[in-house]
Amino acid sequence: MANVKQEDVFEPKVKIKEEPDFFQKTSVKKEPCQDSTNCQTRQDSKLPSSGPSSSVACSSRRLNVQDNNNESTASVMSDEFGQDFCEWFYTMINRLQPCCANQPGDTLRPEVFCGNCSVEMYLVDGGNVEQCRASGSVETERTIRELLKRLGLMFMPNTKGGMQVRRSSHGMIQLFCCGTIHYNDSFVGIFEQEFGLVASPVDKSWKISYTKVNLKKLLEAYTPSLPTVEIFAIEF
């Protein structure tokens, strides 16, 4: 199993061409982005850091994730927190595709995000990088929905060896997760994603403050992984 070095995650060092054709060998038709999505091809593809390199998550079972349920757990271990968050988030994202629409899970909506959240998505195909970004809960949700439905991608997170959860000095929970991406039943690449999560002081629910993701096209299948980090208790 190949390892993804942490210093390489979210920093694609590649040259940019004007017309990237992401997943062209999977017969995914590349269409112009909608007006609500600020998509562009740029030369500086390095993702800015929002804090210490790390990872974290919220949970649909152990934690109150956007369900307006005021009951909350006093504490949860960070590895359980991260695994629950990844299961909740990527199931929700996969349900955007028709083949997964009837699976049980949450629905992607603006309320999942903070009002001033941001998203950055990088489509990496060799030397080509296409970037999509948005800010605000409504535009963030719309950008993610439109791009993933256009590309038809589904995610399989590596929660056993490809996830890290850490806490910033200000208490934000940060999560790194990597795994494989698929189009129908075909492997088409890997993803590397970072989340910043904050607890709402109103109802103690966890919301996504920012997320950044690399979607990398690969021809040879492998499962990316990340180094292990110290497990800690998350209290709220």
The pLDDT tens digits of the residues spanning 89-134 come to 999 999 999 999 999 999 999 999 999 999 999 999 988 999 999 9
What gap in Å lies between CA 205 and CA 187, rounded to an integer?
A: 34
Domains belonging to the chain, first-starting first, are 38-44+51-235 (3.10.450.50)
CA 77 to chain centre: 21
Q: Which of 105-114, 134-143, 147-156, 220-229 has the lowest mean pLDDT?
A: 220-229
pLDDT digit string (tens) for 157-168? 999 999 999 999
- C-alpha–C-alpha distance, residues 123 and 132, integer Å: 8
43/16 Cα distance (integer angstroms): 5
The helix/strand/coil state of 216 is strand
In the predicted model, what is the mean pLDDT of residues 174-195? Answer: 96
Taken in order 166, 228, 62, 232, the sign of the CA dihedral is: negative
CB 173 within 8 A of CB 58: yes
Q: Which secondary-structure segment (H or E) carries 32? A: none
The structure's pTM equals: 0.72
User: What is residue 99's three-state secondary structure?
Assistant: helix
| pLDDT confidence band for 64 (50 / 70 / 90) | low
Please choose, from the candidates 202, 152, 196, the residue with its C-alpha nearest in 3D space to the C-alpha of residue 176: 196
Written as six digits, the tokens of 60 are 């649909």
For the chain, the average pLDDT equals 76
Whether the Cβ atoms of residue 217 and residue 201 lie closer than 8 Å to each other: no
Structural tokens at position 148: 């993933």
Using alpha carbons, select from 173, 174, 166 the residue that is nearest to residue 229: 166
